[in-house]
Chain A
Amino acid sequence: MSNAFIAFQKNDESRCIVEAILEDNPNAMVDDQPSMVKIDVPNRLVIKRETVEEKIGRSFDLQELQLHLITISGHLDETDDEFTLSWNS
C-alpha cells in the first residue's frame, strides 16, 4: 500500500487545515520540517470542508488550499465538500 501525501507551508490557516486532516484521517502521519509540514496517509487522504470550517471558524472554500499547498501525491479528486488524494494499488 502506498502513501498519499500533502504538504503545506506553515501558517495559521494551514495549522487549522492540518488539524482537520488529523481528525478525518486517523492513520495520518505528520512530518514537521523547517517552515513546512507534510502529512502522509496510507492509500487515501481526505480533506473535508466542514471539518476545516469548524477548525478555522469561518466558511472555507476548498480551492483556498491552493494558497498553502506545497506538494501532493496521489490521484486527486476535488468537489465542493472534499479534496481527496488516493492510490488505486
Chain B
Amino acid sequence: MTMLKTLAPYEFKSRDAVENYQGRQLLYVNWERHRMFSRPFVLAMKPETPFSAVLEEMAACFSYHPDWQHIDWDKAIWQNGNTPFTPDRNKSLKDNGIGHKDLIRFRTPGLDGIAGTGY
C-alpha cells in the first residue's frame, strides 16, 4: 500500500511508458561477471527486431573484453530477469518473450573476467 501523502490529487504518468518510444521498447543487457562494463546497457528496439540485432550490439560493446573470443556459445546461459530462457536469434524480441524494460542477463560459465575477478 502506498505511503504517499499529498495535499492535493496526485496523478502522473510513468515517464518511461512504452508509448513514449515511438513503437520501440527498452531492453537492458548485462554480461554477468564482466563488470568491466560497469553496468548493463540500454537499447530501444521495435518488438519485431530479430534477436540477432541484440547479439550485434553485444558484440560491439563486449568484444573489448579478452573473454569475448573465448565464449562457448553452446554453453551460454540466458536469463530474462531472473527467469532462464533460450533465445532464438532468428526470432523477434516479441517471439522470444521479451517485453518493455526487460533485462537480459547473459552468463558464460568458466569465463569470470580479467584474472577471474568478475571484471
Direct interface between A and B, CB < 8 A: no
Task: Give me the interface of B with A, judged by CB distance under 8 Å.
Answer: none
Task: Give me the interface of A with B, judged by CB distance under 8 Å.
Answer: none
